[in-house]
Structures are given as C-alpha cells and as structure tokens.
Amino acid sequence: NIQYCAISPLIERREYRAIKELMALF
C-alpha cells in the first residue's frame, strides 16, 4: 500500500485504475 500511494500521484487517473487492478492481482 505504501508503494501504491507513492506511485499514485505520478500516474494519471486512467492508469491509476489499471495499476490498482494490477496491484490487486499481486
């Protein structure tokens, strides 16, 4: 979750959803 919060502001909201789904898989 820490890394997720760290990269969240660096990416766009659209990719934010994609990353969220990828993080859910791992």
Angstrom distance (rounded) from CA 26 to CA 3: 13
Q: Residue 7's pLDDT is what?
A: 65
Greater model confidence, 20 or 2: 20
Most confident of 2-6, 12-16, 18-22: 18-22
Q: Give how many domains the chain has, as a whole number.
A: 1
10/16 Cα distance (integer angstroms):
9
The tens digit of pLDDT for each residue in 15-25 reads: 777 878 888 87
Complete DSSP assignment for 1-26: -HHHHHHGGGS-HHHHHHHHHHHHH-
Residue span of the structural domain in which 17 resides: 1-26
